[in-house]
Structure 1
Amino acid sequence: MKHILFSLAVFSVCFGGSLAAAVKEGVKSKSPQARTAADLAEAIRPSLVKITQIGREGTDGIGSGFIVSEDGLIATNLHVIGEARRLQIEMHDGKTHAVTVVQASDSHHDLALLKIDAKGLKPLPLGDSGKVRQGEPIVAMGAPEGLGFSIVQGVLSATREVDGQEMLQVAVPIEKGNSGGPLLDMQGNVLGLLTLKSLKTDNLGFAMPVNELKMLIEKPNPVPMSRWLTIGALNPRQWQTYLGAQWTQHAGVIRSESVGSGFGGRALCLSTQKVPDGSFEVSVTVRLDDESGAAGLTFCSDAADRHYGFYASGGKLRLTRFDGPDVYSWTILADVPSDAYKAGEWNTLRVRVEPERMVCFVNGRQVIESSDTGLRGGAAGLCKFRTTVAQFRNFRVGTDLAEKPLQPELASQLRSKVEEYIAEATSADKTLEGLLENPSAARRVLVEQRRRLEEEAVKLRDLERELHRRAMTKEILAELAKPEPEINLLRCALLLARHDNPEIDIATYLNSFKAMVLDLKDDPEISKGTIPAVKRLNRYLFEENGFHGSRGDYGSRSNSYLNEVIDDREGLPITLSLLYVELASALGVQGVFGVPLPGKFMVGYRDGPEGELQLVDVFEHGKLVTVEQAALDLTEDGHFPEGSLSPTTKQAILLRMLRNLMSSVFDDSRSLRESLPYLNLVLAIDPQSAAERLTRAQMRQRLGEKAGAREDVTWLIDNFPADGPPELMQQLDRWLQSLRE
């Protein structure tokens, strides 16, 4: 309790007392002694709010929330507030307030805290979700389908794990608009926040335990609303939107939802890239959540009502010339089916525009050719129609975007290698005539053949995945081979993330980082010296943009993927430090570097070559600490080992990130195979690492890869230190012998 009260005192100073008040309400407030749902509804109503997302064309979504501090702190779900949207809070008496700060957000637990400028509000007391009992009567309150301040009564069915997170299962219906509303016991204490509707039945739902909210209250990551509106927003230097709809960007994917203001729900998003003169091509990969809608490419656009569109619509491919705002001025030039188009999946659309014709392709296959020349020049970009949610990635403009065919000789060599790989573990195929000679066995033989093909497909997927990983390894090694000052550590870290996820668009995140640099490039504090620059960087990252240390999911791999750290503004000490140091370097701030302290990576800085070393704890909101304070927190004797305070190399940072990824994988047969690629990458970067070499030998043996295990054990023997223990050398010899048997 002393620790909690101390934390409250600190946060009271830093955040005007709102957080301290919120937690105190949960700890000390006397709950209403209500006994019926009617009594609760009357008592709780003044503490409930309705949350409205305000988009370009009006309301984009509605959810619920409740007051947790008398000076304007409101709890809800993160998915209720979305990204890049203004938020309006409606109180029980009809008064409305604009949200001024997103005080905290947690994507893992789907929680958010909002701040409004208000005083004298009535907060709800926070209960203890760790003490709930199955069968306990509960009530839930929210705004189902926008009907604010509604109540429903039920029971707590169970506590149940959902996607690795403990949730409260409740026997009450959760409808659209209920999300973020409080789940209460019959004394009026909040037990959780309504979050998920059951996929199996309407009268079953889930709530996030309120104890997770308490952690969020104690450790905020405030983002002013002006900054929140830029999260997920398209970069105006790259895109301009027309005719409404909601356009956002996340993980390199542009997403369009809600209906555009043009006829048929039409909306446009035009690229600022210059379209080449004469012949040109545009391409994008698109996926629709509902094939009854339409989405794809627009080109030759005047940024208004005149343009072409090549898009998927109703499962077909359509080419249309738009000469005005309504259907009477539209000309459908072609509307064709194609088995090359895969409904519900990612499909690549490409158009070649020449002075006398247009040629349209889907997934590399030509589907339309048109001699229409009504429009030329103009801009190119994306289009969407009706209510479908569309996702776009890899938009490109150029003179020739067609995938170039492989040279015949090279293609033949590669196919031979693949066929040899498949044939290694398969027997000769049965011919169709052979199957028909015995019709009663035909189905059985076909099933056996299908299973073999599926096994081959698995092998090909494994080979494709390994090819990608080795390609990423090659790129990382090429970057690390440069002189230390020239190594692009940011790109290395993104390549490390792409090593696991081939879909990551590295250029998108490099551009996001450039935008951060541009935000601060002309800031006067950056040029005043190291100390003013460090203070400015702290405010920019941790106060204005909400970057913070992971609270409840520290071991998640997402915290080690720099793209997700940039998207979610949440990470580990090392990933946040990497972003901090690279930002300082790009801005020309001298004397800022990574410090590999045992147990926690930090940022170090000196005001001049002889200045005293100071530390920035990026995991704790950029807290400035002395070396002595850090040593007391991180070591048993209050002293760091020699070398801990020296600036680390970029290669060492990448290796530490890799080892964090390995530690996130548990020791079972499946995770053994998942962790092996990380070991391979570590040893590619640092071939002399005996510890990882020994670990890989053990893993390879357990996975039945004797040849690989022999290779590693042989290396350990060949590189055994001259003064090493003889008994260990004997163990290695015996191990190698067993691998040869």
Structure 2
Amino acid sequence: MRPVYLLLLTSLLLGQAHAASKPKVPASATKPAAPAARTAAELAAAIRPSLVKITQIGREGTDGIGSGFVVSEDGLIATNLHVIGEARRLQIEMHDGKTHDVSVVQASDNHHDLALLKIEAKGLKPLPLGDSSKVQQGEPIVAMGAPEGLAFSIVQGVLSATREVDGLEMLQVAVPIEKGNSGGPLLDMQGRVLGLLTLKSLKTDNLGFAMPVNELKNLIEKPNPVPMSRWLTIGALNPKLWHSHLGAQWTQHAGVIRSEFPGSGFGGRALCLSTQKVPEETFEIAATVKMDDESGAAGLTFCSDGGDKHYGFYPSGGKLRLTRFNGPDVYSWTILADVPSDAYKSGDWNTLRVRVEPERIVCYVNGKQVIESDDTGIRAGAAGLCKFRTTVAEFRNFRIGTDLAEKPLQPELASRLRSKVQEYVATAATTDQTLEGLLENPGAARRVLVEQRRRLEEEAVRLRDLERELHRRAMTKDILAELAKPEPEINLLRCSLLLARHDNPEIDISTYMSSFKAMVLDLKDDPEIKKGTIAAVKRLNRYLFEENGFHGSRGDYSNRSNSYLNEVIDDREGLPITLSVLYIELASALGVQGVFGVPLPGKFMVGYRDGPEGELQLVDVFEHGKLVTVEQAALDLTEDGRFPEAALAPTTKQAILLRMLRNLMSSVFDDSRSLRDSLPYLNLVLAIDPQAAAERLTRAQMRQRLGEKAGAREDVGWLIQNFPEDGPPELMQQLDRWMQSLRE
């Protein structure tokens, strides 16, 4: 038995807590002496040269307007992240009317809604940054921005309070904040920036909030630059898979395709056609669709020539419509059917499916047939997505095939499964009553129906729990199957995505595997990758941390999103271990030798050796890919400046996954959620590593407190059976007493 087992057992039984170590946050620089207070008019004149107007430029012109301000004389501009959006070209207008295109998104922070932009300019006038931790309620302030596009406007007010909004500490200000003010500076009467105007209060037009400037300082200290050439591709559809037609803006995030703004076709029509080959003669297409406004329209298109000729099947005004489009305007369109359906769920996700045969077209919504047409006006062509008017539409799970209908279960299997479910939910026999029988005594009947409804609601809760547990067990089975492979064959990327899907069934793993493959293709033929380990490591660092902006989480380290690899890929922000997984897997896919995970205490890092006998070097992926020696890392992370030998050895993929899982478990405890929320993680840890004594003991305690005595007895029995022979007798006696109490 490992010595650590006894240590953990003693610690947990005695109720001792251990705090998780986290990366240190650098202290703010010393502030200069405060300048003298000025009037609002004096501030307006002094500050105006430091203010900028930010314009998002899309396919159809201006997509949005916001504010910002200069923070360095060599062209660094601060604003809100939502002001710049994603995949948008950005233009900065200075106070004198000169404009500059943004060359680099120097830093971005989703959690705090902050961004830093870089323009090619010199000799700018930066605003001094104050200390938002020292603001006082009632302190006079001024705010500047571009309300409703009116650039370089000023308003005066007071600081109302500091208040928590959505888990973030914000500065509440008694000033009106309009569209276009976002990103503008909030200043004290000495002209120092206290915050960035961020959002408008829902209660009154004369109350708003600002993000404290100290969060901006953290961003300045730890940038994650992304060149605009890369920024414009974030969320963009893969041109190898999709071609957009007739305008609109089509983007993709987390497996969901999103369309905004009207298309250039009549009625705002726009198409996004798949490059997948459509089967000849008979075929089906399907997708799940959601719209922000039911008066709009969005759905499937097929038999398209890439222009004005195609079919469309889509919800419109709450009905399901099939239309043949033969030209550019309404006079050449033919509405073949426009019908209501109880199967359509207004305001929710709906699965549309179309079957096209040589002599007919059949349309379905959520598995129910709603339209059958014998129209044969158009055949052959591409298939994809369509939208109309100003609708904001989202699409997921688009498919093309010969038969996409959900297949019925085999009768014997269906009967067996239903029997199992009925056994699970049945608590008492029910009695069928006819409506006539109920009307004989409506009052009593209503009481019976209320009781039955409540019972069904309780059963629905149990079924949801069963469904959730079924999904978790399925993910556990898939993870164990992957980990059962020989170490070199284990796909750590897939394991990590399965871990994320364990919590979120909606994650489409194939989408993220495709995103990863695209990264591999970016570097596959890069000459630096082929030069050897050292050159490849430097190229990987530039690619991930300079060109694509991956970075360590700055202000929300314990957020569970940082442990979900899909969200790390989406947001380019994560923990040392999740960023390391991406790094290691990318290196492996590119054939880079000698790159592996190093499980240092307090911070996971990537290690590499230039050859089998080469000296171990480290990559701190949390710190922008900083290259560090073992000695430097030891001085940073340990009290005595030395690592235990095991901490420097390449770790296994199973150990990496377990460490990620334990991070997730820690975040549950940090959030102070219910005990039951932690059990799925404990179950998964013990499924992967049945010898994990600490988790075994914790689960026993959890099960006891939740009243699950049988499960608690099972875990305590394992602990007794595996108790070390040289362990303290009093601890063994305590376990025996615990087991006895569980039998009572």
Matched to 1:463, the amino acid is L
Map of 1:33 onto structure 2:
37
TM superposition shift of 1:708: 1.2
Name 2:222's counterpart in structure 1. 219
**Aligned counterparts of 2:176 and 2:152: Cα–Cα separation in 1:** 15
Matched, 1:469 2:472: yes
Q: Distance in 2 between matches of 1:429 and 1:181?
A: 67
| Residues 471-498 of structure 1 deviation map (CA, whole Å, 9 limit, x = unaligned) | 1111111111111111111001001001
Q: Quick one: distance in 2 between partners of 1:433 and 1:160?
A: 59
Does structure 1 retain, via aligned residues, the 8 Å contact 2:193–2:213? yes
CA contact 2:367–2:405 (8 Å) conserved in 1: yes
Cα deviation for residue 137 of structure 1 reads 2.3
Are the aligned partners of 1:27 and 1:125 in contact in 2 as well (CA < 8 Å)? Answer: no
Find out whether 1:562 has 2:562 as its counterpart.
Answer: no
Residue 239 of structure 1 contacts residue 270 of structure 1 at CA under 8 Å; is this kept in 2? yes
Match of 2:602 in 1: 599
Check 1:402–1:170 CA distance in 2 against 1; reply closer, same or farther (3 A cut): same
CA 1:125 to 1:430, structure 2 compared with 1: closer, same or farther past 3 Å? farther
The yes-or-no answer on 1:584 pairing with 2:556 is no
**TM-score (norm: length of structure 1):** 0.94
- The one-letter code matched in structure 1 to 2:92 is I
Aligned to 1:379: 382
1:638 matched residue in structure 2: 641
Query: Which one of the candidate residues 480, 485, 488 is aligned to 1:485?
Result: 488
1:65 Cα offset (Å): 0.9
2:689 is matched with which residue: 681, 686, 690? 686
Corresponding residue number in structure 2 for 1:659: 662
Residue in 2 aligned with 1:280?
A: 283
Distance 2:188 2:311 in 1: 58
Q: Select which of 220, 229, 233 maps to 1:230.
A: 233
Asked if the contact 1:29/1:125 (under 8 Å) is kept, the reply is no
1:94 to 93, 97, 103: 97
Partner of 1:20: none
- Are 2:543 and 1:540 aligned? yes
Asked if the contact 2:34–2:190 (Cα under 8 Å) also holds between the matched residues in 1, the reply is no
* Cα distance in 2 for residues equivalent to 1:154 and 1:412: 70
Matches within 5 A, 1:255-274: 255-274=258-277
Residue 162 of structure 1: how far off its partner (Å): 1.2
Q: Hey, what does 1:502 align to over in structure 2? A: 505
Q: Deviations over 1:186-210 (max 9, x none)?
A: 2222111111122233222211111
Match in the other structure for 2:456: 453
Output the CA distance in 2 between the equivalents of 1:460 and 1:318. 35
Indicate conservation of the 8 Å contact 1:174/1:203, yes or no. yes
Does residue 137 of structure 1 match 2:167? no
What is the deviation of 1:172? 2.2
Q: Which amino acid aligns with 2:667?
A: S
Aligned residue in 2 for 1:619 = 622
Q: TM-score normalized by structure 2?
A: 0.94
Quickly say closer, same or farther: Cα 1:676–1:434, change in 2 above 3 A. farther
Counting only pairs closer than 5 Å after superposition, residues 157-196 of structure 1 correspond to structure 2 as 157-196=160-199
Match 1:354 to one of 345, 353, 357? 357
Candidates 200, 203, 208, aligned match of 1:205: 208
Q: Distance in 1 between matches of 2:326 and 2:207?
A: 50
Distance 1:88 1:229 in 2: 13
Instruction: Find the residue that maps to 2:464 and give its secondary structure.
Output: helix
Q: Does 1:322 align with 2:295?
A: no
2:409 to 406, 419, 423: 406
Name the aligned partner's letter for residue 508 of structure 1. Answer: T
Q: Measure the CA separation in 2 of the matches of 1:547 and 1:532.
A: 19
**Superposition deviation, residue 544 in structure 1:** 0.6
Deviation of the 1:436 alpha carbon: 4.4
Counterpart-to-counterpart distance in 1, 2:254 and 2:516: 13
In 2, the alpha carbon distance for the partners of 1:54 and 1:32 equals 40
1:341-364 C-alpha deviation (Å, 9 max, x unpaired): 111111101111111111111101
Q: Is the contact between residue 435 and residue 445 of structure 1 (CA under 8 Å) also seen in structure 2?
A: no
> Which secondary structure does the structure 2 equivalent of 1:148 belong to?
coil
Q: Deviations over 1:599-632 (max 9, x none)?
A: 1111111111111111111111111111111111
Using the TM superposition, give the Cα deviation of residue 104 of structure 1 relative to its aligned residue in structure 2, in angstroms: 0.3
CA-CA distance at 1:107 after TM superposition? 0.3
Task: Name the CA distance, whole Å, in 1 between partners of 2:611 and 2:636.
Answer: 27
1:237-278 Cα shifts (integer Å, max 9, x gaps):
111111111111111111111111111111111111111122
Could you tell me which amino acid in structure 1 is paired with residue 379 of structure 2?
Answer: R
Structure 1 residues 172 and 457, CA, compared in 2 at 3 Å: closer, same or farther?
farther
Distance 1:673 1:99, change over 3 A: same
1:133 maps to amino acid = Q
Q: Secondary structure of 2:335's partner?
A: strand
- In the other structure, the counterpart of 2:12 is none
1:372-451 mapped onto 2 (5 Å cutoff): 372-424=375-427, 428=430, 431=433, 436-441=439-444, 443-451=446-454
Superposed CA deviations along residues 263-299 of structure 1, whole A, max 9, x for unmatched, are 1111111111111122111111111011111111111
- Which amino acid in the other structure matches residue 406 of structure 2? E
Instruction: Say if 2:101 and 2:119, in contact at 8 Å, map to a contact too.
Output: yes
Partners of 1:725 and 1:386 in 2: CA distance: 75
Secondary structure of the residue that 1:643 maps to in structure 2? helix
Give the distance between the partners of 2:141 and 2:671, measured in 1 at CA. Answer: 40
Give, in whole Å, the separation in 1 of the partners of 2:284 and 2:33.
65
Question: What CA distance in whole angstroms lies between the structure 1 residues aligned with 2:207 and 2:524?
Answer: 52
Deviation at 1:435, TM superposition (A): 5.7
Tell me the alpha carbon deviations over residues 661-690 of structure 1, each in whole angstroms, 9 at most, x when there is no partner. Answer: 001112788432111101111111111111
Using the TM superposition, name which of 452-461 and 560-569 deviates more.
452-461
Query: Does 1:526 pair with 2:529?
Result: yes
Higher mean C-alpha displacement, 170-179 vs 626-635: 170-179
Task: Say which SS state the counterpart of residue 405 (structure 2) adopts.
Answer: coil
Single out whichever of 625-634 and 407-416 deviates more from structure 2. Answer: 407-416
Provide the C-alpha distance between the structure 2 equivalents of 1:642 and 1:134, rounded to a whole number of angstroms.
53
Report which structure shows greater RCO (CA 8 Å, sep ≥6): 2
Q: Any unmatched runs of 5+ in structure 1?
A: 1-5, 9-22
Question: Hey, what does 1:294 align to over in structure 2?
Answer: 297
Contact 1:669–1:703 under 8 Å retained in 2:
no
> What per-residue deviation string (whole Å, max 9, x for no partner) do you get for residues 552-584 of structure 1?
000010000000000110010100111001000
SS in 2 for 1:582: helix
- Aligned residue in 2 for 1:712: 715
* Cα drift, residue 726 of structure 1: 2.4
Change (3 A) 1:171 1:635: same
Q: Deviations over 1:426-476 (max 9, x none)?
A: 675695677645444555554443333222221111111111111111111
Alignment of 1:140-159 (within 5 A): 140-159=143-162
Aligned to 1:13: none
- Superimposed CA distance per residue, residues 126-164 of structure 1 (whole angstroms, 9 cap, x where no aligned partner): 111111222222222212222222222222222111111
Q: Residues 214-255 of structure 1: CA distance to partner in whole angstroms, max 9, x if unpaired?
A: 110111111111111111111111111111111111111111
The CA deviation string for residues 612-663 of structure 1, in whole angstroms up to 9 with x for no partner, is 1111111111111111111111111111112111111111110000000001
RMSD: 1.9
Q: How does 1:698-709 map to 2 (within 5 A)?
A: 698-709=701-712
**CA deviation profile, 1:701-726 (whole Å, cap 9, x unmatched):** 11121111111111222222333332
* Contact 2:600 2:647 (C-alpha < 8 Å) held by counterparts: yes
Query: Which of 248, 251, 266 lines up with 1:248 in the alignment?
Result: 251
Q: CA deviation at 1:42?
A: 2.3
Counterpart AA for 2:713: R
Residue type of the alignment partner of 1:106: D
The 1-side partners of 2:647 and 2:324 are apart by 65
Decide whether the 8 Å contact of 1:167 with 1:208 is kept in 2: yes
Of 306, 316, 335 in structure 2, the residue corresponding to residue 332 of structure 1 is 335
Task: Provide the residue aligned with 1:58 in structure 2.
Answer: 61
Counterpart AA for 1:471:
A
